[in-house]
Structure 1
Amino acid sequence: MKYFEVKKARIEIIPMIDIMFFLLVFFIMVTLHMIPDAGIASRLPTSATAQAMPKPQITLAVDKAGVIHFDQRALTPAQLTAMLKSRPQPGALQVTLAGDKDTSLQQLMAVMDACRQAGVTKIGLATRQGGGSGS
């Protein structure tokens, strides 16, 4: 007689849980790529020959007073060198300098020298794509 007994319908929730976890991970990963890097507001210079660079591991902002900003902190060149030396493999780091439009070349060179003293050789300058007129 067991052959004719009606079985109760069951809802299997394990596949639904798997799908929900997959969607959760997907949305977390997408959201992480949408969050912009934190920094200070600056007016980047323009360049007609600007090229796309790989995403830098460290972005330093230099304002027109020559103050170096990293992760919402102001650093001196000596502090910058010490911070970069404390990182694992400073020679493999990619550093991008985002200098304000009014930042002098001497101030940018001081930051580059501080990076080179730490062993960093991959240094790029951030610009906006635009015309090549110097104004």
Structure 2
Amino acid sequence: MRNWSEPKKNKAHIELIPMIDVMMFLLVFFVLISLNVIPALGLKTQLPSASSAQQLKPQKKAIITLGSGEQLQLDGQPLAIDALVNTLKQQQQENQTTTIIVNSDKDVAVERLVTVMDTLRQGGFFSISIATRKQ
């Protein structure tokens, strides 16, 4: 009697090892982002300390970053000081005040900080705050 061997049918199954590799990659990526190991957009600044620093309430705000040298950014986008007021007025909605937060590196000269704040006030923006960190 002849025995015809039938081919074995492979059962479908899910491989766990590649799925675990992908999940570990995602976990490592999000941990590095949350620890600021991977740099975010914008200038790296070290805020000055103030004992009276307080949290701001949610509102329409624009963040101006002054870096060392002549760097200036509005909400993470490089900008010249001449175009600052016009850009802010374009972003501002009618009948809504925009709170401006100046995020200045502690090495920036006070004269430059005053120049930016003076330009903003001449442009009609009066709600200006300086970002600090609590001691």
Cα gap change, 1:85 to 1:118, in 2 (>3 Å): farther
Residue of structure 2 in register with 1:48 after alignment: 51
Larger CA deviation: 78-87 vs 68-77: 68-77
Question: Are 1:58 and 2:62 counterparts?
Answer: yes
Superposed CA RMSD: 2.3
Q: Decide which of 93, 96, 99 is 2:101's aligned counterpart.
A: 96
Amino acid at match of 1:82: N
Cα gap change, 1:71 to 1:49, in 2 (>3 Å): closer
User: Which runs of structure 1 show a deviation greater than 6 angstroms over 4 or more consecutive aligned residues?
Assistant: none
Amino acid at match of 2:42: G
- What are the ranges of 5 or more consecutive residues in structure 1 without an aligned counterpart? 1-33, 131-135
1:39 positional shift = 2.9
Q: Aligned to 2:101, what secondary structure does the other structure show?
A: strand
Q: Aligned to 1:61, what secondary structure does the other structure show?
A: strand
2: CA distance, partners of 1:90 / 1:100 = 32
Q: Aligned to 2:64, what secondary structure does the other structure show?
A: strand
Question: Are 1:77 and 2:81 counterparts?
Answer: yes
Question: Are 1:68 and 2:72 counterparts?
Answer: yes
- Number of aligned residue pairs: give it: 95
More helix by share: 1
Q: Normalized against structure 1, the TM-score is what?
A: 0.61
Q: Normalized against structure 2, the TM-score is what?
A: 0.61
Question: Are 1:116 and 2:121 counterparts?
Answer: yes
1: CA distance, partners of 2:83 / 2:70 = 14
**Higher Rg:** 2
